[in-house]
Amino acid sequence: MLPGAQPIVYLMPQAEDWSPVDGAVIEETAVCLFVNGREMVTLMASPIEVEALALGFLYTEGFIHSMDDVAALELSRQGACVDVWLHSDDIPQPRRVIRTSGCSGGVTFDDLTAAREPTPVRATLTAQQVIDRYFDLRSIEQLYPLARGVHGSALCTADDLLLWTEDVGRHNTLDKLAGKALQQHIPTGDRAIVTTGRISSEMLGKAAKLGVSVIASRTSPTHRSVALAHAWNITIIGYIRRDSFRLYTAPSRIVPADPAFAAIAATQAAPSQPDPAPK
C-alpha cells in the first residue's frame, strides 16, 4: 500500500447479496506546525511530504522568503509534527486565522484584500500545452487511481512538469509545491500550475505568492478568485477537458494556435460534460 492510503474492505451490491472488495481509502491526519518552539497551526493533510507542506505554508503565508530564513527543520518520529527553527525570532504574529473553503477545513493568515502588483505578461502558452500539462499530471498521479478522494497539483512550464504532489486538501498541494520548490531551489515565478481542485480565493492567493501567472483546473473558480485574478492579472482556466477549457481571466497569455481552440479565449464557454471520475 502506498504511503498516504490505507487498505480497506468495502461491499458492492451483487444480485441479492453483498460482495466484499479489497480496496483503499485516502489517509488524513493532523499535522501540527511549530515555529521556534511555539505552535502555529494544525493542518489536516495527507501524511506525505509534510516537511514540504510546512515550509510551503510558511512561505505562502509570508513567514519565510527562502531557505536562508530556515535554521533547522525536524520531523517528529510519528511524522505528526514539524518543528521549524528560523534564524530570526521576530515573526509577525498573525492578526487572525481565516477558515478557508479548502478541503478538510484549511486555514490562512493571509489578507487577500491587500493590494498586490499585477503579474506582468512575460510568457505565453498555447491552449494545447495547457491541456497537455494537465493530463501529464493525471497520468502520474499515484494515490488517486488507488483510493480516489485526493487532489493533485503540478508546477510546470509550457513543455514540462517541474514538480507535482498529491494531498487530501487542494490548498495543501500548493503549499507542498511551494515547499518542494524551496527545497530544490526551483524558481516558481511566471510558471503555471495545473490542479484538480477548485480555484478558490485562497488557492489564487497562494499561487500569487509563488508568482505563478496561470492556474488551470479540471473544475471551476469562485467569483472571488475571478475578481482577484482580474486585479492581479493572473490567468484562470477551468473545466479542462481533452479538447476544451474555459478561460476566465487574462486571456493574453494563452494562444489558441489551432483554429479548433479559437473560441477558448472567450470568457463564457459552452457548458462542458462533467468529469467522468470526479474527486
Name residue, grid cell 441479492. 16
CA distance 14 to 266: 47
> SS3 of 132, please?
helix
Copy the grid coordinates of residue 276.
Answer: 467522468
Q: How many CB atoms are closer than 10 A to CB 115?
A: 7
Return the H-helix or E-strand segment holding 192: strand 192-195
Beta bridge partners of 13: 18
Q: Are 166 and 144 in contact (CB under 8 A)?
A: yes
- Which residues are designated catalytic? 103
**What are the Cα distances from residue 58, in Å, to 33, 43, 209, 239?**
10, 12, 11, 30
